[in-house]
Amino acid sequence: MSERPVRVRFAPSPTGPLHIGGVRTALYNYLFAKQNGGKFLLRIEDTDQKRFVPGAEEYINQSLAWLGMSPDEGVKEGGEYGPYKQSERMDQYAAYAEQLVQNGNAYYAFDTPEELDEMRAKLEANSMSAKYDSTSRMSMKNSLTLSEDEVKERLKRGDKYIIRIKLQRNEEIRFHDEIRGWIVFNSSQLDDKVLLKEDGLPTYHLANIVDDHLMEITHVIRGEEWLPSAPLHVILYSYLGWESTMPKFAHLPLILKPDGKGKLSKRDGDRLGFPVFPLEWKSTEGEISSGYRESGYMPEAVVNMLAMLGWHPTDNQELFTMNELINAFSLEKVSKSGAKFDMDKAKWYNHHYLMKASSSQLRNMVDHQISEVHLSRGEHYLLQVLEILKEKVSFAGDILPLGQYFFDVPETYDENVKRKKWKDEIPMHITNYVDGLLSEHKSKASEMEEYLQTYADDQRLSKGILMQPLRWVVSGQAGGPPIFQMLELIGLEEIRRRVDIAKEKF
Ligand code: GLU
């Protein structure tokens, strides 16, 4: 078989906000497609109308766009294989289910809910698993047990029915998973899954296979929770005669809770204090779940962090831009075991990308926090403050609150510094030093630093004992950005004013 052009899909069901596990699935699909010069599709799997949640589809679109992994084909993007939403493809699935019935690989089942309950109860009473399968189906009402005439009669009079797949008993099903190697199941572990529901609509299994086939998907890259469905899918490919173009499978490991105990769930995020959704989500009941974007994460950081949850490169490199990931990613390097979520690591990534951000990017990130006071010394001054403080924070949103003193007299003064350092001759020395800077016009950081050395030498002091009080009178803080850079930015006149204020206060 000649190699087909790579086509992969991310196929979420719009049942709520997209969990970061789903985002990672989308990312790995995206990386794989781009690396292979292929196409990344977004297919909305909304066959289960009962679970439909308004806004979820738009949420998926926005999340992918924010993270920079826009689909090549999809509901919004269009494409030659559309429609890309299953609810708009509903008329095409039934024919495949019928085809399977005609070939003897599926059957009509007419059982009522009561009859099904009865069967389950009977099986359970005999300690058998309550499955509709190759054994139990023979005592049920279906086209395998009823006469041909009766089946025809029932169909004619419009009796309700569903179509189930007819699995063979004790048949070995093998397939190769790109991450896990050979996977072997026995058909007796499975049940005769419903393919077409009473209302004529397909179940997930049928719609998923039919669409993957018609959309010429070459690789199915999805979460581990779908591994138990894979043997059924493999059988469907063979029953439908599509074996030769069956996609390759890759089942991704779970993302685990930080302590490694179980899957990271939708509820864990706000319980453990970190987002599990890319964007903030407001449920129809008005409940808000936090998002990475609103919590101040940069998309580059989220992409990098998610890429490393389950995949590792050949060397120990941890920092990757999207383009670097596209080059380095490989399914073989995706691990089989779950990846623990690590919040400190997430912050570490964000800090890294914050350090790389330009001041105007930072400016955009804090735009919603900016008030008049931040602009009182002009736009350029604001940009410089953002620049000088970014190394001190994990999130852009923490910069302005941390840097209050760049815009006004400190709101608070660190008590410890006052108690330990602001005593004896220190206030006098600080005043003399600052007066000296003023009279000698030393306003550059390097000049201020040099002059402090000169002053300390003259006074036979160690300059160390002046530095912290100097920072403190100006910022109120015990620590902060490089002191002379901070002083240069705040400016001599303002420093002088703050020295007086501190002397008066303390
Ligand atoms: N609609 C399924 C989901 O919500 C798709 C699973 C698959 O990729 O086959 O995850």
Same domain, 395 and 481: no
In a domain, 404, yes or no: no
In a domain, 392, yes or no: yes
In a domain, 495, yes or no: yes
Please state, in angstroms and as integers, the Cα–Cα distance from residue 321 to each residue in 19, 242, 300, 324, 352, following that order. Answer: 22, 38, 7, 5, 11
Spans of the chain below 70 pLDDT: 1-2
Q: Could you give the CA distance from residue 38 to residue 143 in angstroms, rounded to a whole number?
A: 43
In a domain, 409, yes or no: no
Last residue of a domain, one of 370, 399, 428: 399
Secondary structure percentages of the chain, helix, strand, coil, to 5: 50, 10, 40
For the chain, give the number of residues. 506
Q: Could you give the CA distance from residue 255 to residue 289 in angstroms, rounded to a whole number?
A: 19
Same domain, 232 and 284: no
The verdict on the CB of residue 269 being under 6 Å from ligand 1 is no
Beta-carbon count within 10 A of 349 CB: 26
Q: How many domains does the chain contain in total?
A: 5
**HEC-encoded secondary structure of 110-179:** CCCHHHHHHHHHHHHHCCCCCCCCCCHHHHCCECCCCCHHHHHHHHHHCCCCEEEECCCCCCEEEEEECC
CA-wise closest residue to 258 among 246, 269, 244? 269
If phi > 0 it is left, if psi is from -120 to 50 it is alpha, else beta; for residue 48 that is beta
pLDDT tens digits, 175-199: 999 999 999 999 999 999 999 999 9
Same domain, 215 and 284: no
The verdict on the CB of residue 45 being under 6 Å from ligand 1 is yes
Same domain, 184 and 100: yes
H helix intervals, 215-321: 230-239, 268-272, 299-307
Longest dimension (CA), the chain: 113
- Full domain range(s) for residue 281: 266-355
Prior bond of 83 cis (ω within 30°): yes
Last residue of a domain, one of 160, 175, 196: 196
Q: How far is the CA of 72 from the centre of ligand 1 (A)?
A: 18
| Residue 2: predicted pLDDT | 60
The verdict on the CB of residue 252 being under 6 Å from ligand 1 is no
| Residue 129: predicted pLDDT | 87
Does residue 168 contact residue 134 with C-beta atoms inside 8 Å? Answer: yes
Same domain, 209 and 237: yes
| Residue 270: predicted pLDDT | 76
Catalytic residue among 197, 263, 266, 392: 266
In a domain, 69, yes or no: yes
The verdict on the CB of residue 21 being under 6 Å from ligand 1 is no
Catalytic residue check, 248: no
> How are beta strands 162-165 and 106-109 bridged, if at all?
antiparallel
pLDDT tens digits, 372-411: 999 999 999 999 999 999 999 999 999 999 999 999 999 9
Collapsing DSSP to helix, strand or coil, 301 comes out as helix
Q: Provide the token pair at 411.
A: 């709101």
Q: How far is the CA of 222 from the centre of ligand 1 (A)?
A: 7
Q: Could you tell me which residues are beta bridge partners of residue 220?
A: 249
Q: What is the CATH number of the domain that holds 121?
A: 3.90.800.10
Does residue 488 contact residue 448 with C-beta atoms inside 8 Å? Answer: yes
Q: How far is the CA of 347 from the centre of ligand 1 (A)?
A: 30
The verdict on the CB of residue 14 being under 6 Å from ligand 1 is no
The gap from C-alpha 392 to its chain's centroid, in whole angstroms, comes to: 25
In a domain, 84, yes or no: no
Q: Could you give the CA distance from residue 433 to residue 471 in angstroms, rounded to a whole number?
A: 13
Last residue of a domain, one of 337, 355, 373: 355
pTM exceeds 0.85 for this model: yes
The contacts of residue 414 (CB under 8 Å, 6+ apart) are 472, 476, 477, 478
Same domain, 365 and 447: no
The preferred substitution site among 226, 229, 234 for testing ligand 1, maximizing ligand atoms within 8 Å of CB, is: 226
The verdict on the CB of residue 203 being under 6 Å from ligand 1 is no
The gap from C-alpha 417 to its chain's centroid, in whole angstroms, comes to: 43
Q: Could you give the CA distance from residue 291 to residue 84 in angstroms, rounded to a whole number?
A: 27
Q: How far is the CA of 25 from the centre of ligand 1 (A)?
A: 10
If phi > 0 it is left, if psi is from -120 to 50 it is alpha, else beta; for residue 275 that is beta
Surface-to-core class of residue 470, CB atoms within 10 Å of its CB (0-12 exposed, 13-18 middle, 19+ buried): buried
Same domain, 173 and 313: no
Same domain, 351 and 419: no
CA-wise closest residue to 217 among 233, 229, 231, 203? 233
The preferred substitution site among 7, 13, 252 for testing ligand 1, maximizing ligand atoms within 8 Å of CB, is: 13
**HEC-encoded secondary structure of 53-71:** CCCHHHHHHHHHHHCCCCC
Nearest atom of ligand 1 to the alpha carbon of 13: 4
Q: Provide the token pair at 286.
A: 């008005």
In a domain, 410, yes or no: no
